[in-house]
Amino acid sequence: MATRLKVLTLDDPSLCVEKVQAVASEYLTAKFNTAIQIGMDADDPYSLWELLAIDGVISLEDIHGEHHRVGVSIVERENRAYRLMKRGETSHWKNVWRALGIDCYWVFCVNLKHLPSDAEWVDILYQNIDRSHGCFDYRLVNL
């Protein structure tokens, strides 16, 4: 599926470890420091992204030809999805995402035993980006 979508890798300069560390330490100071105190490796990109509750960042083009960077989180439990969405309502978390150049933050609540096929994922992602309103967008997508 990554070949059909523009999945931004950790090699992207705007998503490099140093940038994510800086954002986490500036906007999530207490959470970042606590994670380090309990053993998180601040140089491990996967630990940093986990701290931000982002499983991946993709670039999608909407029907108007505008490109959007989407932070994606995939969870199985609905209560976790709602907790992530609740914090998305705060300007604090929106500032974190904006600092990383993320225009949209989507939480997908999925049954991991019945994941959509690659083609279904592509359809789901493009249907959602076409419903974006051009400003910062966060949403819960139940699958």
Mean confidence (pLDDT) of the chain: 84
Percent over 90 (pLDDT), the chain:
18
For residue 70, pLDDT beyond 50: yes
Q: Copy the structure tokens of residue 136.
A: 């910062």
Tell me the pLDDT band of 26, cut-offs 50, 70 and 90. Answer: very high
Model confidence over 100-111: pLDDT tens digits? 999 888 999 999
66 pLDDT above the threshold of 90: no
Is residue 87 scored above 90 in pLDDT? no
Q: Report the alpha-carbon distance of residue 43 to residue 35 in Å, rounded.
A: 12
Helix (H) or strand (E) holding 109: strand 104-109
Q: How long, in residues, is the chain?
A: 143
> What predicted TM-score, i.e. pTM, was given to this entire model?
0.83
**Nearest-angstrom CA–CA distance, 40 and 46:** 10
Q: What is the pLDDT of residue 80?
A: 92
* Antiparallel, parallel or unpaired: β 56-61 and 6-8: antiparallel
- 101 and 136 Cβ atoms separated by less than 8 Å: no
Q: Is the pLDDT of residue 5 over 70?
A: no
